[in-house]
Structure 1
């Protein structure tokens, strides 16, 4: 009986196998291709992050007076090797990144990618750990980079195809999918939206509503509308073309047709389009009148 079962299993496996002769695929060939794809993914991550930091830098520095959390910014982003997506960490180590904070992006003269910034005691500096006091050392050489005041909400890149962005209350995350979905003006509008979530305290308010058992749906939709509105001011103050904002939500509506008529945690895409159009008109009127670009607040 056991022999019959084995024979039947062998016959069945033969029936289930493919009927063609596949090209060879050795472990060495696969490893070589994996190395190629990993290097390409790393290069893409670096390029997208450079673009993200350039756009985010303008938003964070041009709106510093509207942020309660501020820092002295020298236009530099530092990371450790663990900051990279897991599949890219081994390759990042071959590029010089390790456990110490190293420069990933820099707009400052004399500071390059891969540099370790040291304080007067020789301790590695992480940009967002402490403010710069004007004294930095690289390889024993003292440099004095220029600083500007900026909002203290680091903007980082998440390697994901999802068209998404989110605020944590203390930081902002933008996906590679969102980077592909937007041009620089649109990206600035998205960053402004997430910055508004942080500056308006929306994350804390949502947590408070949950603890109080009030539900978060209505509040969440209100917060999203407020972030759209305030974030548009942030983008305008940084010099970006905010007229592109409504079209983002028309395109979002094509990606998720449920958002056309269903408002859950977010308003519908038509509602966002209409409100953003009204906000643009408000901001343009203020620009023409030479009035301060500040969101209208309740008394």
Structure 2
């Protein structure tokens, strides 16, 4: 009988080779404070910021005119819109500010990053790079308080004359090292800001003060009209106070659910009908806002068909995850489009039925 023989040499050689490869990998892999790593990290952060700002500029081109034309729907919750994106390093998260300084050349003072490409409204005399020293006779201090001061001025200007859609604000800017006096035209706009978030989920939401739009949603809707419909829906959610109502329903459902032993059945049973109602209301009012902003809404209902196909078979939260389903929204939007077009044809004001009856 032959005794089995075991060879340890191949195994030892394999282990030795592994140690050699590990040693090589360790010598190649740099530390986080390696100068080349630090340089590459800074480059990637700068590129990411530039990408986000490009999306933000597109979002502004759609959102700001929509906010302006929707001012009559916002029931006095308005501010003056200067037709420009104004920011300082304090407009960004703390961990971004070094990159912002290096990439966008911003500091503690409020400066113009870009202005809107106006076609119907008066063009602003502001230019990219202008540093705002005062607006409406109010000095704008450097630092975080400068943003608050500007917001107060813009709120006061629009609310002082609630029935006036447009006006002027005197301003002083620093331009090319010199102080320059300007007269800035403004338009009353809904008191909301639209902000781009770099996220892969096709989603948008309104927190009651700001409308957050994910980069994935902007990619999904390359046409500005379709993006305007999404923004109109979210703006309508805010105007109709759906956020507060949803929280109230959620609290009530939670109390009932707790009494039933925390099964979650009450929350599902109580919240779903309200969610359907809220989305239907926001779809309806939002489309009127988009039409009032001058967009051609013919065929706009197709976005729900596209979304229905996109979200089929998934329960992942998205802009259209809540009921009514995409099929119901498609039909409802088509009927709303017919209603709006009939009003345009007859020269009737573009006022939603609920408001026209009140």
Q: TM-score, normalised by structure 2?
A: 0.70
Match of 1:3 in 2: none
Match of 2:306 in 1: 251
The alignment's C-alpha RMSD in Å is 3.3
What do the CA deviations read for 1:199-219 (whole angstroms, capped 9, x no partner)? 111112112223333732211
Secondary structure, in 3 states, of the residue corresponding to 1:230? helix
Secondary structure, in 3 states, of the residue corresponding to 1:145? strand
- Structure 1 residues 32, 230: CA separation in 2 closer, same or farther (over 3 Å shift)? same
* Match 2:151 to one of 123, 128, 132: 128
> What residue ranges of structure 1 are gaps of 5+ in the alignment?
1-7
Match of 1:218 in 2: 273
Match of 1:209 in 2: 249
The answer to which of 267-276 and 129-138 deviates more is 129-138
Cα distance in structure 2, aligned partners of 1:138 and 1:147: 16
Aligned length: 289
Secondary structure, in 3 states, of the residue corresponding to 2:350? coil
| Partners of 1:162 and 1:178 within 8 A in 2 | yes
The structure with the greater share of residues assigned to strand is: 2
Are 2:127 and 1:111 aligned? yes
Are 2:336 and 1:279 aligned? yes
Cα distance in structure 1, aligned partners of 2:228 and 2:129: 24
Are 2:123 and 1:84 aligned? no
Alignment of 1:1-299 (within 5 A): 11=15, 14=18, 26=30, 27-68=34-75, 69-84=77-92, 88-94=96-102, 95-107=104-116, 108-113=124-129, 115-119=131-135, 120=137, 122-124=139-141, 125-126=146-147, 127-131=150-154, 132=157, 134-139=169-174, 140-182=179-221, 183-213=223-253, 215-258=270-313, 265-297=322-354
The answer to which of 47-56 and 76-85 deviates more is 76-85
Q: In the TM superposition, what is the alpha-carbon distance from 1:42 to its structure 2 partner?
A: 2.1
| Partners of 1:221 and 1:264 within 8 A in 2 | no
Cα distance in structure 2, aligned partners of 1:239 and 1:232: 11
Secondary structure, in 3 states, of the residue corresponding to 2:172? strand
- Structure 1 residues 88, 225: CA separation in 2 closer, same or farther (over 3 Å shift)? same
Cα distance in structure 2, aligned partners of 1:12 and 1:258: 50
Larger Rg: 2
Secondary structure, in 3 states, of the residue corresponding to 1:137? strand
- Structure 1 residues 24, 13: CA separation in 2 closer, same or farther (over 3 Å shift)? closer
Q: In the TM superposition, what is the alpha-carbon distance from 1:188 to its structure 2 partner?
A: 0.8
Q: TM-score, normalised by structure 1?
A: 0.83
